[in-house]
Amino acid sequence: MFKKISIFGVGLIGGSFALALKRAGAVNEVVGVGRRMETLERARQLGIIDHACSSVEDAVSGADLILVAAPVAQTETILASIAPHLRPGTVVTDAGSTKSDVVEAARMALGPKIAQFVPGHPIAGREQNGPDAAIVDLYAGKKAVLTPLPENSAEDVEKVASAWKHCGAIIHRLSAEEHDKVFAAVSHLPHLLAYALVDDIAHKPHAGLLFQYAASGFRDFTRIAGSSPEMWRDITLANQPALLSELDSYLEQLASLRALLAERNGSAIEAIYANAQRARHQWITTIEAAEKQNTQGGD
């Protein structure tokens, strides 16, 4: 049971975290901190937070747990504002989509208090943003990845894990480096590719005609291009080394596929398509089985 949880950024991610903990009866008081008073007031109206706090000192004081759920580029500034007020017994975590840069920022901002910071990343999202997008079930059955630091105590890591478990999430652990390589491949690169395609089409002289005939395949392929540009600019820059490496690997793949297309090599093209279809089918089957098991385990 948490007495007081303070959330820096009460949008989709922070707001859904608060709603889930409240429903679970796992927290007495939720405090919200943020850049825009309007957003905080909206979060209060929606029952996400109990009250908004304009003083970082008040927000940090007496909190068992602090969640930083803002675009990753703001992590260092926020942690630096928290640092002077941070007392033993308070654990700080985050929900950033990248981890190596967050750890680096946290070391800069928190200095000797770094042991109190347990980095995290819940693997869940929607294309909408802001407190109105927050939903109580966002994390149900989803993964929450923690990338604990050598300095963290087992007890503090467990405290953060227990909060995510109250939200219905399944806890996973990776190193920050592993985390960033994995998500560059399966999340950050697809976002970049989807944004790039829609922007490319939107700039063509006959864009209107093209959009008129775009259908459900295009809709799904580009769904992630509906995500927040600011948040994804930050993620793109924060995970730049791993993302560049994944992008280069994909560009090589496209170059060889282009060559096969130019020479009309139907059987080689079909082999790539068939391998992708098979791998995706196997993946879907595996995750569906895992989701079923998690649901049963939760009963």
Question: Which of 235, 146, 147, 141 minimizes the C-alpha distance to 190?
Answer: 235
In Å, what is the CA distance from 139 to each residue of 100, 145, 167, 171, 219?
23, 12, 6, 11, 24
Asked if 279 touches its own copies (CB under 8 A), the answer is: yes
d(CA 56, CA 74): 15
The residue among 1 and 202 lying less far from its own copies, judged by its C-beta, is 202
Note whether 133 binds its own copies by CB under 8 A: no
- Does 292 bind its own copies (CB under 8 A)? Our answer is no
- Which of 54, 153, 286, 295 is close enough to bind its own copies by CB under 8 A? 286
- Does position 288 interact with its own copies (CB under 8 A)? The reply is no
- Minimum distance from residue 100 beta carbon to its own copies (Å): 15
Q: What residues numbered 222-261 form the site for its own copies, per CB under 8 A?
A: 222-230, 232-234, 236-237, 240, 243-244, 247-251, 253-255, 257-258, 261
Which of 77, 277, 285, 293 binds its own copies (CB under 8 A)? It is: 277
Q: Which of 125, 131, 148, 168 binds its own copies (CB under 8 A)?
A: 125
- The values of phi and psi at residue 76, to 5°, are -65, -45
Which lies closer to its own copies via its Cβ, residue 61 or residue 245? Answer: 245
Length of the chain: 299
Kindly state whether residue 275 participates in binding its own copies, applying the rule CB under 8 A.
yes
Q: Residues in contact with its own copies, total (CB under 8 A)?
A: 90
Separation between Cα atoms, residue 107 and residue 90, nearest integer Å: 17
Torsion angles phi and psi, residue 75, rounded to 5? -55, -50
Choose the binding region for its own copies from 5-13, 35-43, 107-115, 221-229 (rule: CB under 8 A): 221-229
Q: Which two tokens stand for residue 216?
A: 């459900």
* 188 contacts 245 by C-beta, under 8 angstroms: no
Selected from 3, 51, 219, 292, the binder of its own copies by CB under 8 A is 219
Stretch that binds its own copies, among 14-22, 82-90, 99-107, 215-223 (CB under 8 A): 215-223
Which residue in the set 89, 270, 293, 295 belongs to the binding site for its own copies (CB under 8 A)?
270
Site residues for its own copies, 6-35, by CB under 8 A, read none
Q: Is 211 in the site for its own copies (CB under 8 A)?
A: yes
Minimum distance, C-beta of residue 138 to its own copies, in the bound complex (Å): 11
CB within 8 A of 44, min separation 6: which ones?
A: 32, 50, 51, 52
